């Protein structure tokens, strides 16, 4: 193994790589090291591209790469990773030896190179978009820039972005500080300092009238009725909020939108404006709401389009125990009854083992229509999505309010998600009952999980777990009944 010591930038790597190719050194025979300040002993270094002496440097060789590969290498060189120089030399070595596939995204190394370059380009775009300058009140002082900004780039794109702002800011002086360096524009020349020791956060605390105006504008243009959190976080990721003046406003505005502002949108501001009052009947002023009167007419999601029918519940309306499954299966979809297929037959066995009968429990599903995908002539089960679970929560909440069970058994992760109204882990709730509104909750496996086991022993083990959960549900329901009927002392 032979060592090459370079400065931590593309120009030094390029010169060292050309020299190494001139010596015909394979990638696996080189240890790439970045020159530190101060650098440790370099007696064993083959080439030192951080030194001023030319004696240790071999003669470089000519390498002709495509324009696309050259661009990829220069961008990937800014990717913040300790092994990037060794990897880039491997790419260059393969190209030099005639392996042109290394520049293709279909190649393993090529795919990695493209990912690195794409990530760097995204980091450039983000830095330009999310750098926020603040005007300094003491800008007249010597060596004090008029504007200052603090930013934490994901990759080493400071120099590239500084060139962009140097062209856009005219003669105004500015400085961008980062955890790994700083850029200063004095109105005529750009100065870069990559090794500067900076505080964890170098943002300015001085007042900025333009910033205050911007915050007022941002608040006034926010429309809670059109809030789309997913789109907001996609276009303005949360990790950038702490560096934006408006960042501290966003969580509060989202919270207000969720707690009622979305319904009225900008009505408070509009109501303060002068204008003509138009009389209207009260019933005509109500918003249109799509609340189905029966399960058969439900169109709250699109699952009804490919289902034979909606599948409701079965069992007494005053049952002490409610069992919630995921969704109806193929046979349930055809019959219109819950838990009549193979999984339902296993559930019946578990119910019987627990000392109960199907006539004693209330059976329903979190999602009321069968979601499936074609596989030949068969309809195979497909797990419902979060939107479909939320759409069907309308019906589940009505059932819970009507039946008011003492114990609710969630069969599987989808049912547990619907019951707790949020994405949760089934494994975290398997061991012990938990409190839910109005009673107890118990989580266990869906009987279809037993059907998917590869052998009888594993299938019986899962079925025993379901039976034990139902035994606990029966004991809790009986205990709750005794407590409710026990006379007061």
Q: What is the pLDDT of residue 142?
A: 52
Rounded mean pLDDT of 175-194? 88
pLDDT attached to residue 431:
73
Residue 54: predicted pLDDT: 42
Is 467 or 230 the better-scoring residue by pLDDT? Answer: 467
Q: Averaged over 5-27, what is the pLDDT?
A: 91
Between 136-150, 173-187, 332-346, 375-389, the lowest mean confidence (pLDDT) is in: 136-150
- Give the pLDDT band of residue 315 (cuts 50, 70, 90): very high
pLDDT band at 273 (very low <50, low <70, confident <90, very high): low
Give the model's pLDDT for residue 441: 95
Query: Taking a C-beta distance cutoff of 8 angstroms, is the pair 116, 105 a contact?
Result: no
Position with higher pLDDT, 46 vs 128 = 128
pLDDT on residue 230: 83
CA 10 – CA 84 distance, rounded (Å): 11
Residue ranges per structural domain of the chain: 2-125, 131-217+233-250, 295-484
Residue 53 confidence (pLDDT): 41
Model pLDDT, residue 143? 65
> For residue 164, is pLDDT > 60?
yes
Give tens-digit pLDDT for 48-82: 444 434 444 556 678 889 999 999 999 999 999 98
Predicted confidence (pLDDT) at residue 376 exceeds the cutoff of 60? yes
The yes-or-no verdict on residue 174 having pLDDT over 50 is yes
Secondary structure (H, E, C), the chain: CEEEEECCCHHHHHHHHHHHHHCCCCHHHEEEEECCCCCCCCCCEEEECCCCCCCCCCCCCCCCCCHHHHHHHHHHCCCCCCCHHHHHHHHHHHHHCCCHHHHCCCCHHHHHHHHHHHHHHHHHHHHHHHCCCEECCCCCCCCCCCEEEECCCCCCCHHHHHHHHHHHCCCCCEEEEECCEEEEECCCCEEEECCCCCCCCCCCCCCCHHHHHHHHHHHHHCCHHHCCHHHHHHHCCHHHHHHCHHHHCHHHHHHHHHHHHHHHCCHHHHHCCCCCCCCCCHHHHCCCCCCCCCHHHCCCCCHHHHCCCCCCCECCCCCCEEEEECCCCHHHHHHCCCCCCHHHHHHHHHHHHCCCCHHHEEEEECCCCCCEEEECCEEEECCCCHHHHHHHHHHHHHHHHHHCCCEEEEECHHHHHHHHCCCCCCHHHCCCCEEECCEEEEEECCHHHHHCCCCHHHHHHHHHHHHHHHHHHHHHHHHHHHHHHCCCC
411-424: pLDDT as tens digits: 999 999 999 998 88
Average pLDDT, the chain: 83
Tell me: pLDDT of 39 over 60.
Answer: no
- CB contact at 8 A, 435 and 419: no
> Which is higher by pLDDT, 322 or 260?
322
pLDDT at 416: 95
CA dist 433 and 142 (Å) reads 69
Name the band, by pLDDT with cuts 50, 70 and 90, for residue 196.
very low
Distances from the Cα of 32 to the Cαs of 81, 90, 271, in angstroms? 13, 11, 67
Q: Higher-confidence residue: 225 or 351?
A: 351
Mean pLDDT across 195-207 = 52
Contact (Cβ atoms closer than 8 angstroms) between residue 315 and residue 358: yes
Percent of the chain's residues with pLDDT above 70: 82
Q: Quick one: average pLDDT of 196-212?
A: 58
Claim: this prediction has a pTM higher than 0.75: no
Given a cut of 70, whether residue 203 has pLDDT beyond it is no
CA angle 164/168/174 to nearest 5° reads 85
* Residue 58 pLDDT: 57
Q: Which residues pair with 181 in a beta bridge?
A: 178
Question: Could you tell me the pLDDT band of residue 222, with boundaries at 50, 70 and 90?
Answer: confident
CATH 3.40.470.10 is the classification of domain 295-484:
yes
**Residues above pLDDT 90, as percent of the chain:** 54
In terms of C-beta density within 10 A (0-12 exposed, 13-18 middle, 19 or more buried), how is residue 298 classed? Answer: buried
Residues 95-144 have pLDDT tens digits of 999 999 999 999 999 999 999 999 999 999 999 988 888 887 754 445 67
Whether residue 326 contacts residue 411, with contact meaning beta carbons closer than 8 Å, is answered with: yes
Check: CB of residue 85 under 8 Å from CB of residue 13.
yes
Measure the CA–CA gap between 78 and 178, rounded to whole angstroms. 15
pLDDT bucket at 473, cuts 50 / 70 / 90: very high
Position 290 scores a pLDDT of 54
Asked which of 131-140, 346-355, 390-399 is least confident by mean pLDDT, the reply is 131-140
The token pair at 21 is 């190719």
pLDDT computed for residue 46 by the predictor: 37
Question: pLDDT tier at 93 (50, 70, 90 boundaries)?
Answer: very high
């Amino acid at each position: 193994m032979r060592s090459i010591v370079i400065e931590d930038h593309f120009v030094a790597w390029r010169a060292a790589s050309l020299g190494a190719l001139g010596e015909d050194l394979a990638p696996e025979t080189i240890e790439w090291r970045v020159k530190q300040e101060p650098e440790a002993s370099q007696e064993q270094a083959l080439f030192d591209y951080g030194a001023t002496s030319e004696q240790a440097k071999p003669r470089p060789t000519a390498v002709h790469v495509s324009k696309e590969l050259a661009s990829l290498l220069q961008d990937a060189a800014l990717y913040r990773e300790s092994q990037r120089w060794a990897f880039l030399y491997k790419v260059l070595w393969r190209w030099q030896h005639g392996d042109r596939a290394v520049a293709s995204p279909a190649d393993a190394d090529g795919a990695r190179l493209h990912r690195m370059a794409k990530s760097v380009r995204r980091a450039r775009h983000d830095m330009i978009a999310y750098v926020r300058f603040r005007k300094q009140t003491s800008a007249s002082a010597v060596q004090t820039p008029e504007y200052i900004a603090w930013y934490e780039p994901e990759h080493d794109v400071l120099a590239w972005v500084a060139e962009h702002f140097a062209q856009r800011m005219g003669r105004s002086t500015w400085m961008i500080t980062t955890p790994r360096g700083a850029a200063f524009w004095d109105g005529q020349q750009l100065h870069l300092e990559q090794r500067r020791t900076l505080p964890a956060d170098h943002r300015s605390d001085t007042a900025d009238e333009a910033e205050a105006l911007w915050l007022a504008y941002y608040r006034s243009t926010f429309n809670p009725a059109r809030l789309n959190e997913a789109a907001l976080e996609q276009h303005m990721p949360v990790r950038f909020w702490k560096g934006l003046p408006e960042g501290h406003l966003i969580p509060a505005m989202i919270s207000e939108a969720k707690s009622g502002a979305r319904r009225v949108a900008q009505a408070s501001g509009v109501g303060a404006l002068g204008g003509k009052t138009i009389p209207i009947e009260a019933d005509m002023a109500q918003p249109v709401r799509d609340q189905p009167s029966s399960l058969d007419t439900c169109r709250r999601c699109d699952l009804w389009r490919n289902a034979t029918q909606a599948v409701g519940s079965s069992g007494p309306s005053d049952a002490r125990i409610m069992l919630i499954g995921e969704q109806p299966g193929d046979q349930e979809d055809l019959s219109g009854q819950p838990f009549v297929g193979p999984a339902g037959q296993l559930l019946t066995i578990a119910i019987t083992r627990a000392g109960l009968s199907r006539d004693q429990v209330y059976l329903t599903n979190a999602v009321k229509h069968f979601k499936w995908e074609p596989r030949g002539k068969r309809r195979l089960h497909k797990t419902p999505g979060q939107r479909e679970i939320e759409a069907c929560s309308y019906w589940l909440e009505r059932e819970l309010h009507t039946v008011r069970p003492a114990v609710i058994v969630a069969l599987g992760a989808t049912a547990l998600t619907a019951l707790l109204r949020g994405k949760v882990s089934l494994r975290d709730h398997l061991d012990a009952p938990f409190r839910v509104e109005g009673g107890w909750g118990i989580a266990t496996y869906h009987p279809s999980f037993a059907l998917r086991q590869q052998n009888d022993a594993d299938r019986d083990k899962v079925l025993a777990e379901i039976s034990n959960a139902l035994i606990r549900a029966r004991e809790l329901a009986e205990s709750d009944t005794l407590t409710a009927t026990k006379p007061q002392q």
